[in-house]
Amino acid sequence: MQRISKILLYYKFLPISDPKAVMLWQRELCERLSLKGRILISEHGINGTVGGDMDACKEYVKKCKEYFGRMEFKWSEGGAEDFPRLSVKVRDEIVAFGVPGELKVDENGVIGGGVHLKPAQVNKLVEERGDDVVFFDGRNAMEAQIGKFKNAVVPDVTTTHDFIAELESGKYDWMKDKPVISYCTGGIRCEILSALMKNRGFQEVYQIDGGIVRYGEKFGNDGLWEGSLYVFDKRMHTEFGMGIEDPGFVQLGHCVHCGTATNKFENCGNLDCRTLTLMCSACAEDPMKRTCGKEECANVVMQTVEK
């Protein structure tokens, strides 16, 4: 009989008084069930992606719910083979914003975060308030190159760590009294980001239940979302609805070298850089062009090719 396997994605914000004990329990549980993947535990909660046999996944979900209470799990295609190993770690933060002391959680989750909107409520808010509504991208700027909400503001961040400086820079003060919808891939980053924004004077902050993933599942390419969704696995990107064939699909990304529409990221060919860069397949296959576009990287690549 063919074995069916799955990948589980989940997070929950709740106070964990002894993260180390939870880490040891989770490690033992995953090892016993032959699950692989990556789990982070902090005093504020747990965030994980694990893969394995369907039965093992079901048992894992049951055990987690017994311990943590109500939790949502997203089931997706894949299995243990999609991960190199099992990694279960204790960290100061389950998402690294660099402000572990600022985040406050209780049994209901993050305290003082943005109002949760279901996908349909996002559209309703925009219908009611029109151009006043600001979409604020809670991801790394690179992710937004291939897809984002219409007219979204994309902060200049390379990693989540950069958000605090961005929010405090004054650049976004103009939106402090506007309705702001923060959004990210699956919702976890905005649970924290929306609270950090409110703490810094943003008056009316929202976040999307289930993030872009759930919005896209509901509205595909016919809503306020445009383009592809960057994902953190070997696919690198995914599309909603019928994908790029969909009449409503908008290709936002362009090859950094020739401008051809593309949603494919490649690492810069300079091994000291390796910056993920949008490249069309023709440019990516040309060893002289396979760079992030910086002159120093072009020089390095040229020297390597000439050798």
Between residues 99 and 276, which has the closer beta carbon with respect to Zn ion? 276
Give the CA distances from residue 190 to residues 30, 66, 163, 185, in Å, rounded to whole numbers and listed in that order.
28, 26, 11, 9
- The residues in 216-275 that bind Zn ion, with binding defined as CB under 5 A, are 255, 257-258, 260, 268, 270, 273, 275
Question: Of 184, 280, 298, 301, which lies in the binding site for Zn ion, with binding defined by CB under 5 A?
Answer: 280
Between residues 211 and 269, which has the closer beta carbon with respect to Zn ion? 269
Quickly count: other Cβ atoms within 10 Å of residue 127's Cβ. Answer: 9
Residues present in the chain in total: 307
The CB-side HSE value for 132 (13 A sphere, CA atoms) comes to 12
Q: Is 96 in the site for Zn ion (CB under 5 A)?
A: no
Between residues 159 and 169, which has the closer beta carbon with respect to Zn ion? 159
64 is catalytic: no
CB of 290 to Zn ion, least distance (A): 10
DSSP class of residue 153 equals: B
- Residue 158 tokens read as 């390379």
Between residues 37 and 227, which has the closer beta carbon with respect to Zn ion? 227
Q: 81-115 b/e with 16+ CB inside 10 Å = b?
A: ebbeebebebbebbbebebeeebebeeeebeebbe
**Which string of x and - marks every residue 284-303 that binds Zn ion (by CB under 5 A)?**
--------x-x--x------
Between residues 145 and 182, which has the closer beta carbon with respect to Zn ion? 145
CB of 163 to Zn ion, least distance (A): 24
Residue 214 near residue 36 (C-beta atoms within 8 A): no
Q: What residues form DSSP beta bridges with 116?
A: 207
Quickly count: other Cβ atoms within 10 Å of residue 124's Cβ. Answer: 12
Q: Is the dihedral of CA 41, 97, 136, 230 positive or negative?
A: negative
Question: Of 35, 152, 283, 298, which lies in the binding site for Zn ion, with binding defined by CB under 5 A?
Answer: 283
SS3 105: strand
Among candidate residues 30, 184, 268, 283, the one labeled active-site is 184
**Which residues are known catalytic residues?**
184
Binding site for Zn ion (CB under 5 A): 255, 257-258, 260, 268, 270, 273, 275, 280, 283, 292, 294, 297
